[in-house]
Amino acid sequence: MMKKKTKKKSIKISTLKNKLDRLFSQYIRLRDADENGYCHCCTCGKTLHWKEMTAGHFISRSVLATRYEETNVHAQCMCPCNAKHMGNGKPHLHEIYIVDMHGENERNRLLDLSVHSKPMKKKDYEELIEYYKQKVKEFNLT
């Protein structure tokens, strides 16, 4: 009797992208939090616990080339700053924040990078997922 070969189930890129988005967002909000877990919104200054914040992108997250660039993303309150119907990320204020935090050269680097396509393969997503799993683990959230 022959054994049937079991086919390893292939994970879709969309599933990997969603997983990476969750981990990356968690990392950004933890990175920007103080020792008590509170962050300041990069555009309005509101202080909230990291779990109540979002990871706001200066250059829209729809631009894959800068979607996971850490200097492009900072803790941001959902309302009014990062809600689509209200502030839509307030990119003009986020740009000022980036220049203050990282300098004009970094802002220019992000803008230059944003006009280049950056296709990602499954392996790229898998590697970034493992990287951000480790980064989040370093915050000892037990």
Q: Could you tell me the pTM of the whole model?
A: 0.89
Instruction: Retrieve residue 141's tokens.
Output: 């959230």
Q: Domain-by-domain residue ranges, the chain? A: 24-118
**Residue 40: partners with Cβ closer than 8 Å, 6 or more residues away:** 32, 46, 47, 75
pLDDT digits (tens, 9 = 90+) for 53-97: 999 999 999 999 999 999 999 999 998 899 876 667 789 999 999
**How far is it, in rounded angstroms, from Cα 53 to Cα 86?**
16
Q: For residue 142, what pLDDT is reported?
A: 55
